[in-house]
Chain A
C-alpha cells in the first residue's frame, strides 16, 4: 500500500483553486442590493473562500489516510526493530538502513529492478507511440483495433504470469520447443539473468503497451488537424510530421506516461514474483526485484524494520528517477519543439 502513495501526488494535485474561486464570488453579487447583515456577508465571504478547498478536500483527506499515514508509519517502523509476528521492538535509529545497504541482495535487487525497468519501459513507450500513430490514421474498423489493444490489460497479472510461465518454460516451454524445432539451442529463461529479465519484461510490455497506446492516441486526436495540413503543404512526409508535429504536441501526455511507467516499472512485483514457484527471484535471486526483496525481508525473514527501510529507500530512488526523467523529457521536448 505505502508504495502506491508516491504515485498519487504528481497526478492528483493538478487543480488550480484560484480559478474556481471566481465563480461563487460573482454569483453572490445580486444579493448586495438587499444589504445583508454583516454576519451573512461574512458567511458568504467564507463560502467563497473556503468552498473550493472543501470541494477538493475529499481527495486530500483520503490521501492523508491511505497515502501519507502509511508513508509516515513506514518511516516510524523503519527506525525500530520490528518483527512481523512479534511487533515493535527497541528504537534502532538508522541501523535497519545500514543493514539493508550492507546486504548484497539489496544491490542485486536494485540492479535487477533497473534492468527489468529499462527492458520494459523503453520499448513499451516507443511501441505504444508507434501503435498510437498507426491507430490515429484512417484505418478500416478503427474501433475494433483500438479496443483490441486494450485486451491484454484486462487480463489479471496472475493469469498473465501463468500463461507466460508455460511459454517461457526452460525445458518444456513453448518458445524453447519452437527454437529447438528450427534447430536453435533452447534459452534458459529461468536461469540466465538477462534471459529472465527479457521474459519478465515481455510480460509487462504485453500488458501495458496497449494501455499506453490508448493514452497516446487520445492525446494525438486532440492535435489540431490544420497543423498537419500546413506541414504537408510545407512538404513534410508522414515520419517528419510525426516527429515534428505529433511528438511536440503530445509532450505533456508523453511526460505523464513516462513518469507513471517509471513508477510502475520500479515497483514491479507480480510478474517476477510469479515467474517461479518459490517467489524469491530464482536460485541466485537473478530476477529478484526491489519490491520482492522488500517482501522477502518482511514476510520470509519476518523483519518489518528492514523491510520498511527498503520501502523508504525505494521511494527515494523512485523520486530520483522521476526527477531525472522530468529533466530529460523537458530537454527532449524543447528540442523537438524548436522548428
Chain B
C-alpha cells in the first residue's frame, strides 16, 4: 500500500522541468491546444540551431489545456516553458500577471494589431503574451448540400444571402424545408458564441461588473438560438462532442460560423467529404472568435530561451506558415500584407482564396468584445443552458431561469 502511495505521488509530480536532453541540449516545451499549426515550425527551429530542442504538447480542447494550466500555476511548478492562452481566459490570468515573464522587447514593438497588444499589456506596462492568431469569422458551407436545396452554390452568390443574422436564419428555414434530416448549422452553442462575440459588453461591463442577467442583448441571443433549434435549424449537438465530430461525416449540417482556426478543424473532421466552401461574409458585419497568445511562465527554468523561441514563433513569417498549415489567422500587421497569406488558397475548401477572405473578414471586425475575469465561467453556464434546451431537458424559459441562478452562484 505504501508503495502504491509513493508511486502515485511520483506520478502526480510527473512531467516537470526535465530540462536537458542526453546530448546536453536544453529541452523546451510548448503547450498548445486544438491546432496551432506549429508542427513543422518546431522542426524547423530544432534544425536551425543546436542549443535547444523544442517539444510540443498538444491538448485536445481549450478547456483541457486551461485546466492543466490552472492546476500547475497554482502548484507553482510543472508548466511548459511556453504556454498558449486563449483569449476567453485571458483576463482571469491577467490578474496573475506576476506568474508570467514580462516579454516586452523593442524588437517586437508594432508587430501586432494594436488591440491585440493592448489586451496583453498590464496596467504597469508589462507585456505578458505574444499574440499568435486572431479569429476573424466567415461562413463555411457545404455547396453540395446547397445544390440539393436549390440554393446558389457559388461563394460570392452565397455571400449575398447572409448579410444579417435574420437573413442567415431565413435561408436556413428554407434549407431545412427542402433537405429534411440535415440541420442548417453545426450547433446552437457555436452560433450563440459567434453572436455573443459581436456584443461589445455581453456578460460584463467595462469595469467587470457582471451584467449577464439583465443584458437584453444576451437574452436576445438566447431566445434566437433556442427558437431556431425548435425550428430544426440546429443539430442540437454540442461542439467538440463525439456526435458533433461524427456529424461532419453524416451530412449533419450545411453551414457553420468559422473563424480561421476552425478551418483546420473542419478539414480534419470532414476528411474525405467533398463540397466544403467558404463565403466572404459574416452575418451582422464582422466578428472575432478566439485567438491566442504565447506566454512564458515565470516558474520555468529557461525563460530567456523560451522568450526567444516565443518571439520566433510569433514572428510574421512563421505565423504565415502556421496559417498555411492549419488556417490559424495571424495577428501580426506585416503578415496580413504578406503575399503568401493574401494569395493563399485552400484545396479542401474548393480552392477558395482563404487568405484574402479572412483578411477581409478581419477588416470587418468593428471592435473586440470585452471579456472580463468571469467571462469564461458565465459563458460555460450560458452554453449549458442552450444545450439543455437542445436536449429537451428544460424549456427555454426554465433554462433561462436556471442560467440566471448559475450566474448568481458564480457571483
A residues near B (Cβ < 8 Å) are 1, 4, 8, 11-12, 58-59, 62-63, 66-67, 84-86, 103, 105, 165-166, 169-173, 188, 190-191, 276-280, 283-284, 286, 299-302, 304
A12-B250 in contact (CB<8A): no
B residues near A (Cβ < 8 Å) are 1-2, 5-6, 8-9, 12, 60-61, 63, 67, 70-71, 73-74, 92-93, 95-96, 99, 237-238, 240-243, 246-247, 250, 377, 380, 384-385, 387-388, 390-394, 409-410
A173–B95 CA distance with the chains assembled, in angstroms:
43
Nearest residue, chain A, Cβ from B6: A62
Nearest residue, chain B, Cβ from A11: B1
A278-B380 in contact (CB<8A): yes
**Known contacts A191-B392, A300-B380, A301-B377; A171/B2 CB under 8 A:** no
Give the residue of A63, A84, A172, A278 whose beta carbon is less than 8 angstroms from that of B243.
Answer: A172
B67-A299 in contact (CB<8A): yes
Give the residue of A11, A169, A278 whose beta carbon is less than 8 angstroms from that of B242.
Answer: A169
B-chain residues with CB within 8 Å of residue A8 when the two chains form the complex: 1, 5
Contacts A12-B1, A58-B2, A283-B387 supplied; 19 other A-B pairs, CB < 8 Å = A1-B8, A63-B2, A67-B5, A85-B96, A85-B99, A103-B409, A105-B409, A171-B237, A171-B243, A172-B242, A276-B238, A276-B241, A278-B384, A279-B63, A279-B67, A280-B384, A283-B388, A284-B393, A286-B393
A1-B12 in contact (CB<8A): yes
A280-B70 in contact (CB<8A): no
Q: Chain B nearest CB: distance from A3 CB in Å? A: 11
A-chain residues with CB within 8 Å of residue B388 when the two chains form the complex: 283-284
Q: Chain A nearest CB: distance from B10 CB in Å? A: 10
A325–B237 CA distance with the chains assembled, in angstroms:
41
Give the residue of A66, A85, A276 whose beta carbon is less than 8 angstroms from that of B95.
Answer: A85
A51–B216 CA distance with the chains assembled, in angstroms:
74
B247-A171 in contact (CB<8A): yes
**Known contacts A85-B74, A283-B384, A283-B391; A62/B5 CB under 8 A:** yes
Give the residue of B2, B8, B61, B246 whose beta carbon is less than 8 angstroms from that of A277.
Answer: B61
Give the residue of A169, A188, A300 whose beta carbon is less than 8 angstroms from that of B377.
Answer: A300
B-chain residues with CB within 8 Å of residue A172 when the two chains form the complex: 242-243, 246-247, 250
B242-A165 in contact (CB<8A): yes
**Known contacts A85-B96, A278-B238, A284-B394; A170/B243 CB under 8 A:** yes
A166–B246 CA distance with the chains assembled, in angstroms:
10
**Known contacts A12-B1, A166-B242, A278-B380; A188/B391 CB under 8 A:** yes
Nearest residue, chain B, Cβ from A300: B377
B-chain residues with CB within 8 Å of residue A169 when the two chains form the complex: 242-243, 246
Nearest residue, chain B, Cβ from A279: B63
Nearest residue, chain B, Cβ from A191: B391
A67–B4 CA distance with the chains assembled, in angstroms:
12
A66-B242 in contact (CB<8A): no
Nearest residue, chain B, Cβ from A99: B409
B-chain residues with CB within 8 Å of residue A59 when the two chains form the complex: 1-2
B63-A66 in contact (CB<8A): no
Nearest residue, chain A, Cβ from B68: A299
A316–B163 CA distance with the chains assembled, in angstroms:
59
A147–B293 CA distance with the chains assembled, in angstroms:
50
B243-A4 in contact (CB<8A): no
Q: Chain A nearest CB: distance from B397 CB in Å? A: 15
Q: Chain A nearest CB: distance from B61 CB in Å? A: 6
A84-B1 in contact (CB<8A): no
Q: Chain B nearest CB: distance from A150 CB in Å? A: 17
B-chain residues with CB within 8 Å of residue A302 when the two chains form the complex: 70, 92
Give the residue of A11, A12, A85 whose beta carbon is less than 8 angstroms from that of B73.
Answer: A85
B70-A84 in contact (CB<8A): yes
Q: Chain A nearest CB: distance from B171 CB in Å? A: 24
A-chain residues with CB within 8 Å of residue B246 when the two chains form the complex: 169, 171-172
Could you give 25 example pairs across A and B, Cβ below 8 Å?
Answer: A1-B12, A8-B1, A11-B1, A59-B1, A62-B2, A62-B6, A66-B8, A85-B70, A85-B95, A85-B96, A86-B96, A169-B242, A170-B243, A171-B243, A171-B247, A172-B246, A172-B247, A188-B391, A277-B63, A279-B67, A283-B387, A284-B394, A301-B410, A302-B70, A304-B74
